[in-house]
Amino acid sequence: MPVAFGIAQRQLDQRTSVISCEGELDLSSAPQLKWMLLDSIEAGHTQVVVDLSLCTFMDSTALGVLIVVKRSLAAGAQMAIVTEHASVLKIFELSGMDGMFAIFPTLADALARPAQNDVAEAS
């Protein structure tokens, strides 16, 4: 059965945008996330934060979207994930992508130290 999914974008400053997802990120909702992320990057945002705090579930398709977008980032641009949800974290861990993304428990943490984390985590 379809589960409600919501997605919203807000621009904090000229280089930072936050994309918030609510509900379940799966095959049906992942494309929305993808296009919103790509739009944000095209708009010139160099720091993109994906807030998955309200996401109860994320599947491999959504993970694939994050991977694709992360790879399309220009040099110097950063991407951060915000989540505390165990199932979402498990997906990152299982896929080995927890080392590829900068994952923060809260949005405040992500905005507080995006740069260092990206440098530290991504390789």
Partner 1 sequence: MPRDTSERPSALRPARRLATTACVAVSCFGLLALIPAASARPNHVSRTSPAPAVEPAPAAAPPAELAPASPSPASGQSAGPAAPSQTPPRPTPKHAQRGGANQTPAVGGSSRTGASGGASQTAAGEDPSQTTTSGDPAQPPAHRDRSQRAHARASAPTKPAASVESSPASAEQQSAVLQESTAQADAGRQRGRGHHKETAGEGKHSRESGKRGKEKSKQPAPPSAAPEEPTLETAVPAVAAAAPVTIASIEATPPAQAPVQDAAQVSVAGVSAQALDSPARAAGHGASHARAARVPRRTHRALPAASEPALAFATSAAHRSRASASKDARGAHDGGSRGGSSPLVRTITTIVDVVPTPVRLLIAGLLALALALAARSYLAALRARSLERQRAQLLEDVGLLQAALLPSPPARLGPVGTSVAYRPAEGPGAGGDFYDVFALEDGQLAVIVGDVSGHGRHALPHTALLRFTLRAYLEAGLSPRDAVQTAGAVLERQLGGLFATVVLATYNPRERILVYSCAGHPPPVVIGAGPGPAAIAPLTVCASPPIGVGVRTGTRQTVVSVPGRSQICFYTDGVTESRVGTELFGVERLVDTLIELGADASAPAILDSVVRHADARPDDMAACLLRIEGGDDAPSVLSEELELDGEEIASERAERLLLACGVERSELAEVIRSARAAAGRNGTVVLELHRTDGAPHVTLRRDRLAYLHARRASVEAAV
Window of 11-19, 33-41, 91-99, 109-117 that interacts with partner 1 by CB under 8 A: 91-99
Q: How many beta carbons lie within 10 A of that of residue 59, not counting itself?
A: 16
Number of residues this chain uses to bind partner 1 (CB under 8 A): 25
Among residues 32, 46, 64, 109, which is the contact residue for partner 1, using CB under 8 A? Answer: 64
Nearer to partner 1, 81 or 97 (CB): 97
d(C-alpha 22, C-alpha 29), whole Å: 10
Single-letter amino acid, residue 57: F
Q: Could you tell me the smallest distance in angstroms from the CB atom of residue 99 to partner 1?
A: 6
- Residue 120 interacts with partner 1 (CB under 8 A)? yes
d(C-alpha 121, C-alpha 93), whole Å: 14
**Region at 44 (left for phi over 0; alpha for psi -120 to 50; beta for the rest):** left
- Residue 59 interacts with partner 1 (CB under 8 A)? yes
- Residue 23 interacts with partner 1 (CB under 8 A)? no
Nearer to partner 1, 64 or 107 (CB): 64
- Residue 93 interacts with partner 1 (CB under 8 A)? yes
Residues that bind partner 1 (CB under 8 A): 1, 3, 26-28, 57, 59-61, 64, 67-68, 71, 90, 93-100, 120-121, 123
